[in-house]
Homo-oligomer: A and B are copies of this chain.
Amino acid sequence: MKLISTLLFFLLLISLTYSSATPTRSGKRDRVHEPCKRLVFYFHDIIYNGHNSKNATSAIVGTPAWGNRTILANQNHFGDLVVFDDPITLDNNLHSRPIGRAQGFYIYDKKEIFTAWLGFSFVFNSTQHKGSINFAGADPLMNKTRDISVIGGTGDFFMTRGVATLSTDSFEGEVYFRLRAEINLYECW
C-alpha cells in the first residue's frame, strides 16, 4: 500500500510538473484543433507610384530586367519585390487609429497569375498588445482566402506559432489594397 501511494505521488508529480512546464497546445483543427488565441486585424498597403510619396506605405525595390520601380511589372508583376510599413487597424477603415505596423516584404513570384511570397511582422506597441508576430508563406492572392504560417513571436506573443488566414478586403487599382488577417494561434506560452 505504501508502495502504491509512493508511485501515485511520483506519477502525479510527473504529470503536474510536465503540464506546468509546457505551453498550451490545442487539438486538431477544423473543429478538431481549437486555437489558444484568435485575433483579427486589417492592414493597409499604399504602393509608391512616383506621385504619392506622402501617403505611400510601401515601395518597389526590386524588379525583373523588364520592370521598373514606379510601376508594377507586367506578367502579373512577376519579380517585383515590395517593402512595406503598413498601418494595422482593428476595423477596415484606413483612417482608424493604428494599433501597430505590418512591416516586411512581399515578392510577386508567378508569371501567369498574381501570387506572392510574404515575409513580415506585426509590430505592436500599444495598450492592447506589446511585442511582435512573425509570418512567412505563400499568398496566392486571387484566392478568396489563403493561409500563411505564424513562425514565431516576441513579447505578448512570445514563442507563439499558428496560421493566419488572409483575405483581400478591398483594392483600388494597383495602388491601394487592404488585407484582413485572421490569426489563429495554436501554441501559446
Which residues of A are interface residues toward B (Cβ below 8 A)?
4-5, 7-8, 11-12, 14-15, 18-23, 25-29, 33, 48, 50, 59-65, 67-70, 78-81, 83-85, 101, 103-105, 107-111, 115, 117, 119-121, 123, 131-132, 134, 136-138, 140, 147-155, 158-159, 161-163, 186-187, 189
Q: In whole angstroms, how far apart are the Cα atoms of A103 and B109 in the complex?
A: 6
Q: Are A186 and B159 in contact (CB under 8 A)?
A: yes
5 more A-B residue pairs beyond the given contacts A14-B15, A117-B119, A136-B136, with a C-beta to C-beta distance below 8 A: A15-B18, A60-B65, A78-B85, A104-B138, A186-B189
Knowing A20-B27, A109-B85, A134-B151, the reply to whether A50 touches B65 (Cβ < 8 A) is: yes
A34 nearest CB neighbor, chain B only? B21
A136 nearest CB neighbor, chain B only? B134
Interface core residue of A8, A65, A110, A148 (most chain B CB under 10 Å): A65
Select which of B59, B103, B161, B162 is within 8 A of A138 by beta carbon.
B103
Q: Are B162 and A147 in contact (CB under 8 A)?
A: no
Least CB distance from A188 to B in Å reads 11
- Chain B residues closer than 8 Å to A117, beta-carbon distance: 83, 103-105, 119-121
Q: Are A138 and B152 in contact (CB under 8 A)?
A: no
